[in-house]
Amino acid sequence: MKVALLLDSSEKCLTVGLSENGKVIDFIQYEAWQKQSEFMVNEIDGLLKKHSLSRSDIEAVSASKGPGSYTGVRIALTIAKTIVFALQVPLYLSSSLEVLREKGKPSICLSNARGKRSYVGIYEGQKCLTPDSIWDNSAVMAYLEEHPDVVPCGDLGYLGLEGQGNHICEALAENINEAHLESNSLGARPIYLKDDYQKGNFKTIIRKAMPSDIYALMEICASSLHSPYTEEQMLYEMSSNPVANVYSAVVDSQVVGFIDFMITFDSATICLIAVKEEFRNKGIGNLLLGQMLKDCRSQAEPVEFVTLEVRESNVNAQRFYKKHKFEAVTVKKAYYTDGENAVYMVRSIINNG
């Protein structure tokens, strides 16, 4: 028998289920606040044994990915990621609010975000009417009053209300579809829903690229650059190339840009720099360049200048570099494999800014 494993621990409850062809065949669900870490794996083991199933019978995992309790969300997701990594089976991820929905009715799915706020998502079947976000509880109450036709779902004790719908397993089983398939299951990360980010005043962190960034970097490469690296080349730059430095720009736990540069003796070369389209013109490129200059200045052997090649047609990039005190020195004819010329640009390190 081939089954899918269904997992959720994003709030007070621990939910472990089995489904076959999209139909739930068995599940366990109980309140295990802050105990999911201890019990969840054992419950999976128990459920598999009860149905005389072994690991080779698991053909997929469907789990929730937040928002909810930060630790709780990580427990189910870490277990799910470990299983799909071990068994090489697909991972389906759903919003932990979406899986609270009442079948066939417009549902406002809620969970306690604490500080008099709620995580809110409005769904009708598999359709999302209002994406997950954080609301003040007063706004939730006002919405409920204005929309008596929308079913409030979830554990609503914190609002002094009775919640409808407790079909997490059914929803997780139903969501085993293309729309919920996670393409980078090894690097999958939870949804934490930082409200700061939604308001637009997000914080960008520049840090050394980490192994799990590889998928995001490849995606940014593919969508932003003409001659992207292969995954192998990128991994080499990140972990093995002794002169390469790769930094990621991270916003709300999402990698949105990166820089790859080499430092060789007295000069540095920018190999790649890219920022996701929707995050451009927000100063992230400046931060990435700044990190490189900082690294150049902290070398034991002083770095004196930085060089780069940029496509002749890429005027936006050239404008960006000029703003950062780079000067076009020469044009390298047919530098790129497709025959395009490269503009060779140089700046001195001591040039501040």
Tell me which residues touch other proteins (CB under 8 A). 37-42, 44-45, 55, 70-71, 74-75, 77-79, 81-83, 85-87, 185-190, 192, 205, 207-208, 210-212, 214, 253
Provide the CA 157 distance to its chain's centre, in angstroms. 30
CA torsion 46-50-53-54 (nearest 10°) is 30
Cα–Cα distance for residue pair 41/43, rounded to 1 Å: 5
Neighbour-count burial of 86, counting CB atoms closer than 10 A to its CB (0-12 exposed, 13-18 middle, 19+ buried): exposed
Q: How far is the CB of 190 from other proteins (least distance, A)?
A: 7
Q: How far is the CB of 186 from other proteins (least distance, A)?
A: 5
Q: How far is the CB of 350 from other proteins (least distance, A)?
A: 22
Nearer to other proteins, 39 or 305 (CB): 39
Please state whether 265 falls in left (phi above 0), alpha (psi between -120 and 50) or beta: left
Nearer to other proteins, 42 or 223 (CB): 42
Q: How far is CA 134 from CA 111, 139, 176, 282, 302, in A?
A: 10, 10, 26, 24, 49
The secondary structure of residue 98, as a DSSP letter, is G
Residue 323 has a CB neighbour count (10 Å cut-off) of 12
Q: How far is the CB of 44 from other proteins (least distance, A)?
A: 6
Cα–Cα distance for residue pair 220/217, rounded to 1 Å: 5
Strands in 191-230 per DSSP E: 204-208
Strands 13-20 and 3-8: antiparallel
- Cβ(62)–Cβ(180) below 8 Å: yes
Nearer to other proteins, 26 or 124 (CB): 26
Nearer to other proteins, 205 or 329 (CB): 205
Q: How far is the CB of 254 from other proteins (least distance, A)?
A: 11
Q: How far is the CB of 70 from other proteins (least distance, A)?
A: 6
- The residues, ordered by sequence, that sit 6+ positions from 286 with a Cβ below 8 Å of its Cβ are 324
The partner residues of 311 in beta bridges, in order of sequence, read: 342
Q: How far is the CB of 212 from other proteins (least distance, A)?
A: 4
Strands in 39-105 per DSSP E: 58-64, 91-94
Q: How far is the CB of 226 from other proteins (least distance, A)?
A: 27
Cα–Cα distance for residue pair 241/9, rounded to 1 Å: 40
The secondary structure of residue 42, as a DSSP letter, is H
Q: How far is the CB of 91 from other proteins (least distance, A)?
A: 10
Nearer to other proteins, 80 or 168 (CB): 80
